[in-house]
């Protein structure tokens, strides 16, 4: 029965047009947002119930109050400043009549550095296509910032609705999980049902540990960068720090992607500050890579850089920014499931230690012994 349901779902996806799928996505958008919010807040609720020894309803109330308080503070204090920065940048780009040649010439005359002089000379000697590319980049950035500012207001009703739905999801968590477990055991035999439950449990642990750690790490990076930018008078410090923190969610490539708009805007607003911004980003990223990320995210990823880079690249190509963020825990989950399945079969053959000394990460074979007894 379960395979039939999946086959029907795939057929419906193939038959439906792009317009129908977009219509369905828009219809379910509040519910999708609610699932994401509830999934992230559940860890906070669990923390309160265990550490403060309160009931789950009280933990949900505390988590929601703190979340609303943080969002309210951001809207009241931070959002106006960020929108003001966005407006200033857009006006500067669209109405400032940028003369890139003049700006580069001024930088070349002000900064006596071999590499700066070399880069300035290259830009000045470059063809018109390169200068046009820089102008297109700035214009595109302005469009992205305008779209971001417009979506903030347009998404308010959806976010409020999603937050209300999220509260009921958190309250009815045990009911939802129980119904899901009943469904799995109803349509699968006991052995396969146990495997399915284990896979969901593994995915849940991987995604929660990775996302919670990465969100906290990125928030700290954003605060540090914003404060450093403010102290050293980098233009639009709060917005630039927020951009760095947001892109820090993407492993490996995030800091590089986030630094491009920050350095570019700083360069065209106040050229010497671009070097200051770059140095701050390098120092903060070194601090994050060597101290913050290992302590906060730590072993939650559990795979080598090869797998992380591949998952970010493929996930970004398929699903954009969400794919780059969620690609890592997805690959970790799939890789772990495959490795454990291989280990189970080797255990059945009495060869569970085969080539173990050459593996970069060890395999814990005993976790699947209960399945072999079924």
**Cα–Cα distance, 314 to 204 (Å, whole number):** 22
Residue 1 has pLDDT above 50, yes or no: no
Judging by beta carbons within 10 Å of its beta carbon (0-12, 13-18, 19+), is residue 178 exposed, middle or buried? exposed
Percent of the chain with pLDDT over 90: 13
Q: How far apart are CA 293 and CA 218, in angstroms?
A: 9
Q: Which residue has the tokens 């495959």?
A: 338
The vertex-160 CA angle with 158 and 162, nearest 5°, equals 65
The region of weakest confidence among 72-81, 118-127, 223-232, 313-322 is: 118-127
Dihedral sign, Cα of residue 101, residue 105, residue 108, residue 114? positive
pLDDT for res 103: 66
Nearest to 351 by CA among 337, 338, 334, 363: 363
Neighbours of 322 (CB within 10 A): 11
Gap between the Cα atoms of 195 and 120, Å rounded: 60
| pLDDT category of residue 261 using cuts at 50, 70 and 90 | confident
Residues counted in the chain: 374
Long-range pairs for 318-321 at CB < 8 Å and ≥24 separation?
321/250
Q: Is the pLDDT of residue 79 over 70?
A: no
CB atoms within 10 A of CB 365: 16
Q: Per residue in 42-64, pLDDT tens?
A: 988 998 898 888 898 999 999 99
Task: Give me the mean pLDDT over the 292-318 stretch.
Answer: 75
What pLDDT shows up at residue 225? Answer: 92
What pLDDT, on the 0 to 100 scale, is given for residue 371? Answer: 45
Q: What is the average per-residue pLDDT within 19-31?
A: 73
Q: 314 with 327: CB under 8 angstroms?
A: yes
Q: What is the pLDDT of residues 106-152, one digit of tens each?
A: 666 766 666 666 776 766 666 456 556 656 666 666 566 566 656 65
Q: Which residue has the tokens 């050293």?
A: 232
Distance CA 323, CA 167 (A): 26
- Assess whether pLDDT exceeds 60 at residue 13: no
What rounded mean pLDDT belongs to the chain?
A: 77
Which helix (H) or strand (E) segment is 319 a member of? Answer: helix 305-348
């Amino acid at each position: 029965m379960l395979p039939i349901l999946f086959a029907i779902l795939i057929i419906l996806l193939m038959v439906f047009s792009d317009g129908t799928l977009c219509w369905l996505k828009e219809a379910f958008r509040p519910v999708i947002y609610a699932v994401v919010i509830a999934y992230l807040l559940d860890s906070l609720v669990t923390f309160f119930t265990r550490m403060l020894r309160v009931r789950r309803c009280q933990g949900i109330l505390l988590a929601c109050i703190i979340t609303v308080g943080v969002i309210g503070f951001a809207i009241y204090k931070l959002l106006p400043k960020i929108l003001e920065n966005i407006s200033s940048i857009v006006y500067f780009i669209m109405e400032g009549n940028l003369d890139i040649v003049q700006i580069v010439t001024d930088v070349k005359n002000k900064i006596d550095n071999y590499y700066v002089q070399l880069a300035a000379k290259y830009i000045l000697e470059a063809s018109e296509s390169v200068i046009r590319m820089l102008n297109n980049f700035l214009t595109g950035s302005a469009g992205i910032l305008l779209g971001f500012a417009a979506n903030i207001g347009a998404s308010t009703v959806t976010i409020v609705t999603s937050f209300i739905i999220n509260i009921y999801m958190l309250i009815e968590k045990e009911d939802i999980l129980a119904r899901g477990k009943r469904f799995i055991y109803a349509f699968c035999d006991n052995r396969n049902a146990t495997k399915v439950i284990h896979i969901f449990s593994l995915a849940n642990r991987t995604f929660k540990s990775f996302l919670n750690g990465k969100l906290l790490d990125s928030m700290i990076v954003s605060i540090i960068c914003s404060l450093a930018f403010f102290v050293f008078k980098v233009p639009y410090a709060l917005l630039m720090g927020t951009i760095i923190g947001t892109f820090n969610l993407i492993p490996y490539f995030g800091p590089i992607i986030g630094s491009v708009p920050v350095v570019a805007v700083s360069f065209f607003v106040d050229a010497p500050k671009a070097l200051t911004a770059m140095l701050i980003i390098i120092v903060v990223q070194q601090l994050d890579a060597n101290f913050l990320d290992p302590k906060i995210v730590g072993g939650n990823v559990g795979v080598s850089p090869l797998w992380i880079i591949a998952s970010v690249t493929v996930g970004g190509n398929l699903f954009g920014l969400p794919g780059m963020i969620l690609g890592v825990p997805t690959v970790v989950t799939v890789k772990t499931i495959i490795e454990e399945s291989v280990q189970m079969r080797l255990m059945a053959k009495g060869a569970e230690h085969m080539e173990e000394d050459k593996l970069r990460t060890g395999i814990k074979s005993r976790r699947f012994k209960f399945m072999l007894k079924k």
